[in-house]
Amino acid sequence: MLVAHMSPAMVMKSEESYEDNDEREVYHHQYQKGVKQLVENGRIHTLPQRYILPASDRPIITTSEEQDDDSNFVGNPKIELPIIDFFELIGPNRPQALQSLAHACQHYGFFQLVNHGISEEVIRKMKDVMGRFFNQAYEERAKHMTSDMKAAVRYGTSFSQNKDSVFCWRDFLKLLCHPLSHYLPHWPQSPMDLREVAATYAEETNNLFLKLMEAILESLGIKEEEEDEDEDDNNNNIMKKLEEGGSQMMVANLYPPCPEPDLTLGMPPHSDYGLLTLLLQDEEVEGLQIQFQGNWLTVKPISNAFVVNVGDHLEIFSNGIYKSVLHRVLVNARKSRTSVASLHSLPFNCTVKPSLKLINDANPKRYKDTDFHTFLAYVSSREPKGKDFLHSRKLTSFTSH
């Protein structure tokens, strides 16, 4: 527990000023413990060097006219994401709802899902238990710290903790979910109700994801029964594979108040690797921004809605018709922010490739086949940046987006 004995003055010392390797090691070690621990231990008033982004990567945080001093909201231009009403999607208005879904996935890569049928109680309990997880003593949280990207549970900080040259202002808890019976015994036992609450949430979000995927396939003009039985095409019967047990990872994010939010980010620009992500935003504290027509725009939270986004696998599967869009997270000087993302895709051992139904003369095959191991090898070998992985899967003649 070296860090516990450090004075606030040491916490604020700049990296360059360390005299020997032992001292440098302490400095790095403490950042590995995460931002919550840093804030609680250090009472810091300026942002440590380790979190300061180069000027070109910093967000521009403006204060809007409506924003008074007590506001929890950051300024910046907002985006109203398309709203998809799940109730419409499963009712007689399905054809129109499918058109809206296709438009959202094609032009925004994001939408707000309302009337999704997951109860307010399930959502409230999930946010609450994740909040209580982060509020535990560091030693309890640290039991789940690991750099093993395949671990059933991973508590950590920043974006890619072992690779990031500049750290992000974020701590996280990642839980692998499927098959639940396999992963559940590894999940944290404290808080006591975490396993039960998170398991219910995982099952309900997975069921919702399956219904959304059916709608997405239909919106792409793909009907399962029409798919070829060609055994070489791993994308055949995608729904069958997902129903038998796709991959699901839940990520709870914590962004504590940050002394200089205009110098850093909670998460850098990134896209998600899977098919779809279902995100529960903090209803009171904005932070999520998406890149839209070249600008960074802040997503206004809607109470009890899921922000759903297209991941890299869906961009590949749809042969580029649906877009996996860059997004990032701003942090806030006054309020802590939390979010819970659920990332869904094919089973980890499956290959993802453009659907044969979506390859034709007008839209030739745009992406190489890929799998989870290729993704892990890629992200383990370098500092992840933007949509680099997806770009690495592009066939060289198509580099337009």
Ligand X SMILES: O=C(O)CCC(=O)C(=O)O
Binding mask 209-248 for ligand X (x = CB under 6 A): ----------------------------------------
3-state SS, residue 158: coil
The minimum distance between CB 236 and ligand X, in angstroms, equals 29
Binding residues for ligand X, how many (CB under 6 A)?
Answer: 12
272 or 312: CB nearest ligand X: 272
- Return the bridge partners of 156, or none: 172
286 binding ligand X? (CB under 6 A): no
**Identified binder of ligand X from the candidate list 272, 311, 312, 335, rule CB under 6 A:** 272
The yes or no reply on residue 331 touching ligand X (CB under 6 A) is no
Distance CA 129, CA 389 (A): 33
With residue 373 as reference, give the H or E element that holds it: helix 372-381
**Sole window of 106-114, 199-207, 280-288, 318-326 interacting with ligand X (rule: CB under 6 A):** 280-288
Q: Which stretch binds ligand X (CB under 6 A): 13-21, 128-136, 141-149, 279-287?
A: 279-287
CB 351 within 8 A of CB 373: no
The two most distant CA atoms of the chain are separated, in Å, by 70
Closest to ligand X by CB, 30 vs 336, is: 336
**Contact between 267 and ligand X per CB under 6 A:** yes
Q: 247, 348 in Cβ contact below 8 A?
A: yes
Question: Cα–Cα distance between 224 and 238 in angstroms, integer?
Answer: 8
| Least distance in angstroms from the C-beta of 251 to ligand X | 5
Pairing of strands 337-345, 247-255: antiparallel
Task: Give the residue carrying structure tokens 């710290």.
Answer: 145
Locate all alpha helices (DSSP H) within 156-237, ordered by sequence: 180-183, 194-219
> Is the Cβ of residue 259 or residue 384 nearer to ligand X in the bound state?
384
Residue 81 within binding range of ligand X, rule CB under 6 A: no
Alpha-carbon gap, residue 170 to 222, rounded angstroms: 39
Min dist CB 305 to ligand X, Å, is 13
Site for ligand X in 247-266 (CB under 6 A): 251, 253
Distance separating alpha carbons of residues 325 and 208, to the nearest angstrom: 21
**288 part of the interface to ligand X, by CB under 6 A:** yes
How far apart are CB 10 and ligand X at their closest, in Å? Answer: 30
Which pair of structure tokens corresponds to residue 280? 């529960």
Could you list the residues that contact ligand X (CB under 6 A)? 251, 253, 267, 272, 279, 281, 287-288, 327, 329, 339, 341
